[in-house]
Structure 1
Amino acid sequence: MTTAEFGRAVRRWRDRVPPEAAGLPAGRARRAAGLRREELALLAGISVDYLTRLEQGRASHPSAQVVAALARALRLTDPERAHLHRLAGLAQPGPETMPTTINPSVQRLLDRLAGIPVAVHDAAWTLLVANPPYAALMGDPSGWQGDERNGVWRHFLGPGSRVRLNTQERRGLEAALVADLRVAAGRYPADPRLRRLIGQLRAGSARFAELWDAGAVGRHEAARKTVEHPRVGALTLDCDVLTVAGSDLRIMVYTAAPGTEDAERLALLTVLGTQSVAG
């Protein structure tokens, strides 16, 4: 990877994206017509510090997830996306690798759901983008790198999540996650990130290995989930998972019934944002 060339490309493309094209207010007194660094970091779901180091050539080897997130936030064309992957020293996306591109119609859907927690994952449950309400609810993911962004890895090998599960719910979720990963492995056999993730999980988690070897079947579907938030307490919410046909992207949406205490707490989180309530 040529870090200087990668950083120059990101800066050049950032300068050409008007904020309104990314669903952001144009505002006044902007020194440039393009995106500010903090705006691109927000859209890509990475920290401003990390983006700064990438643009200045002080950080090397960004993950495929980070490169895909930057390409999406910068509204790159397919040739430009391929070029950015080459600059990062990564294999270009192909038909046997998991899609990570959020197409314009899905992006418009996300823009219209800006007031409720929404996150988009790839077929292996790697987080691609999370909007501010989701970050406020589940914890700010902008500093997560590599495997930290994968929900299966976080459950079996990492810190888990804020979702409270009883024993039966936990076992059901684990079977569904492993089954989802098995389906993804069959559909995208040439994806090196997926193969590495499965190998790491089998080696590091006896529970994952048990379920994988047993051929666990199931599917991560809609459910009622209780989220333990460090500032506003427990929220019981409906969690719906929508799959995008043709790309296997998973859109996870959290909502609460109108007029309930859970709805009031969720609205409070949305107003306060991640800076005040993330823990």
Structure 2
Amino acid sequence: MATTALGTALRHWRDRVSPEAAGLPAGGRRRAAGLRREELAQLAGISADYVIRLEQGRATSPSAQVVEALARALRLTADERAHLFRLAGLHPPGPGTVPRHITPGVHRMLDRLSGTPVAVFDAAWNQLLANPLYTALMGEWRGRDLNGVWRNFVTRDSRVRQTPESRGALQEALVADLRRTADRYPADQALRALVADLRRHSARFAQLWDSGAVAAHDSGRKTIDHPQIGPLTLDCDVLGVAGSDLRMMVYTAEPGSADADRLALLGVVGTQSLDVAG
């Protein structure tokens, strides 16, 4: 059976990550303490067959997106992530690209905030990671809908209650923030492609982009209409990660409020639904 340094490294890193550390149930008897291939595939959003082919050396040229997803799922350090890119025959992302590496410390924060909806976004508003309660609250997105700007301008897929005025203000803030990101990372091809696609698919985005405004999208109070729990009015805070350009979006309820009770109920009902669906 063929093997490669890439496959050997993937198996080594998979073996050292426990399912509990990755937010997965341990589930019955296991031959090893680490992740199963199917679990790594689930966390990285790729097929289990592709993980097998990578480990066995039958697939040796994964895309940068797949390598990035594997690095996040395996909770690699910055140096390990760079090594994984090189093993895949790719150059690690340079300083002119949007940072997408999630440090082990950020992973641990999400693990410890299991009772709080938290998601991690890069500076271009791509969702990189979300804990189960955040997914239960906001819904599970895939593909282009993982980008918050795309959702707000193209698919309009959101449980957040909005008036025409609040939607307009949010769109203005998102475009201004994305422009600031584009100015900081002029070499990021994925970001340039995102902006070009947004301009093609949304006249509103193109109009705002051409206005040249530069600003940051920060915090707010939002009402989320959940299909099972009903409306929850929560504080939404966007926190920067020190030493990176990642943003953590955190939703909290006022202690003792009806919204806090609904959020606690969602932690039971919503995450059970996700387990069944998965």
Inter-partner Cα distance in structure 2 for 1:257 and 1:18? 34
| Contact map agreement 1:175 1:218 (CA 8 A) in 2 | no
The within-5 A match list for 1:2-13 is 9-13=9-13
In structure 1, stretches of 5+ residues that fail to align are none
Aligned pair 1:92/2:88, yes or no? Answer: no
Inter-partner Cα distance in structure 1 for 2:71 and 2:149? 24
> More relative contact order in 1 or in 2 (CA 8 Å, sep 6+)?
1
Q: CA 1:41 to 1:274, structure 2 compared with 1: closer, same or farther past 3 Å?
A: farther
Q: Does 89-98 or 206-215 show the bigger shift? A: 89-98
CA RMSD of aligned residues (A): 3.0
Inter-partner Cα distance in structure 2 for 1:25 and 1:167? 42
For residue 155 of structure 2, give the secondary structure of its aligned residue in structure 1: coil
Q: Does 159-168 or 268-277 show the bigger shift? A: 268-277
Aligned pair 1:54/2:50, yes or no? Answer: yes
Amino acid at match of 2:175: V
1:142-180 Cα deviation digits (max 9, x unpaired): xx13x2311111211224211111111101100111011
Q: Does 227-236 or 155-164 show the bigger shift? A: 155-164
For residue 252 of structure 1, give the secondary structure of its aligned residue in structure 2: strand
Inter-partner Cα distance in structure 1 for 2:151 and 2:6? 29
Give the CA deviation at 1:30. 2.1
Find 2:266's aligned residue among 258, 265, 269.
Answer: 269
Give the CA deviation at 1:18. 3.5
Find 1:175's aligned residue among 153, 172, 175.
Answer: 172
Q: CA 1:87 to 1:158, structure 2 compared with 1: closer, same or farther past 3 Å?
A: farther
| Contact map agreement 2:38 2:48 (CA 8 A) in 1 | no
| Contact map agreement 2:67 2:85 (CA 8 A) in 1 | yes
Inter-partner Cα distance in structure 2 for 1:271 and 1:37? 28
Give the CA deviation at 1:274. 3.6
Inter-partner Cα distance in structure 2 for 1:222 and 1:73? 28
User: Percent identity over the alignment?
Assistant: 62
For residue 33 of structure 2, give the secondary structure of its aligned residue in structure 1: coil
Give the CA deviation at 1:61. 8.1
Amino acid at match of 2:226: H
Q: CA 1:89 to 1:182, structure 2 compared with 1: closer, same or farther past 3 Å?
A: farther
Give the CA deviation at 1:57. 3.6
Give the CA deviation at 1:120. 0.2
1:209-230 Cα deviation digits (max 9, x unpaired): 0000011343211111111111
Give the CA deviation at 1:277. 6.5
Give the CA deviation at 1:35. 1.6
**1:34 corresponds to:** 34
Aligned pair 1:73/2:73, yes or no? Answer: yes
Inter-partner Cα distance in structure 1 for 2:114 and 2:239? 16
**2:202 corresponds to:** 205
Work out the number of aligned pairs and report it.
270
For residue 224 of structure 1, give the secondary structure of its aligned residue in structure 2: strand
The within-5 A match list for 1:205-244 is 205-244=202-241
Inter-partner Cα distance in structure 2 for 1:51 and 1:204? 30
Give the CA deviation at 1:69. 3.2
TM-score by length of 2: 0.84
Q: Does 106-115 or 65-74 show the bigger shift? A: 65-74
1:106-141 Cα deviation digits (max 9, x unpaired): 233222211110000000000010000001001123
Q: Does 252-261 or 25-34 show the bigger shift? A: 25-34
Amino acid at match of 1:53: D
Inter-partner Cα distance in structure 2 for 1:247 and 1:275? 33
Inter-partner Cα distance in structure 1 for 2:202 and 2:60? 30
In structure 2, stretches of 5+ residues that fail to align are none
Amino acid at match of 1:125: W
Inter-partner Cα distance in structure 2 for 1:222 and 1:52? 38
Inter-partner Cα distance in structure 2 for 1:61 and 1:175? 39
Amino acid at match of 2:109: L
For residue 193 of structure 1, give the secondary structure of its aligned residue in structure 2: helix
Aligned pair 1:165/2:162, yes or no? Answer: yes
Inter-partner Cα distance in structure 1 for 2:214 and 2:268? 39
Q: CA 1:152 to 1:231, structure 2 compared with 1: closer, same or farther past 3 Å?
A: same
Give the CA deviation at 1:203. 1.5
Inter-partner Cα distance in structure 1 for 2:105 and 2:252? 21
**2:247 corresponds to:** 250
